[in-house]
Amino acid sequence: MFPFVIAIQAMLVATFAIKLKQLREIQSKWGKPLNGRWPAAEIILCLRGADETLLPLLNALYNQNYPGKIRLQIIVDSRSDNSWKIVEKAINQYAINKTSSPDKLEITLQALQKRQKNGSLKCSSINQALRNLHPDSKVIALVDADAVVPKNWLKLLVLGCCQKGIGAVSGNRWYLPSQNTIEGYIRTVWNAGALVLMTLFKIPWGGSLAVRREVVDSGLWIKLMNNSLCEDTCLNKPLKQLKMKYLFIPELLIIDKSDGIKISDLSNWLTRQVLTVRLHHPAWPLILIHGISTTTLICLGILFNTLSSLLAYELACLFLLTWIEKLALNKKTTSIKNFALALFPGQILNGLSTFSALLAKKVEWRGINYQITLKPKGVQILND
Using a 10 angstrom Cβ sphere, with 0-12 exposed, 13-18 middle and 19 or more buried, the burial of residue 95 is: exposed
User: What percent of the chain is modeled with pLDDT above 70?
Assistant: 97
Pairing relationship of beta strands 105-111 and 41-47 according to DSSP bridges:
unpaired
Between the two ends of the chain, the Cα-to-Cα distance in Å is: 47
Q: What is the pTM of this model?
A: 0.94
Phi then psi for residue 333, to 5 deg, are -125, -20
Its domain, for residue 57, covers 2-383
Query: How does residue 236 score in pLDDT terms, banded at 50, 70 and 90?
Result: very high
Q: What is the pLDDT of residues 271-294, one digit of tens each?
A: 999 999 999 999 999 999 999 988
Mean pLDDT computed over 114-130: 93
Q: What is the pLDDT of residues 187-225, one digit of tens each?
A: 999 999 999 999 999 999 999 999 999 999 999 999 999
How many Å apart are CA 220 and CA 41, to the nearest integer?
20
What integer pLDDT is reported at residue 93 of this predicted model? 87
User: Could you give the number of structural domains in the chain?
Assistant: 1
CATH code assigned at 294: 3.90.550.10
Query: How does residue 102 score in pLDDT terms, banded at 50, 70 and 90?
Result: very low
What integer pLDDT is reported at residue 103 of this predicted model? 55
Alpha carbon separation from 242 to 211, 217, 226, 284, 348 (Å, rounded): 12, 11, 19, 22, 39
Q: Measured on CA atoms in the order 218, 224, 225, 227, is the torsion positive or negative?
A: positive
Query: How does residue 263 score in pLDDT terms, banded at 50, 70 and 90?
Result: confident
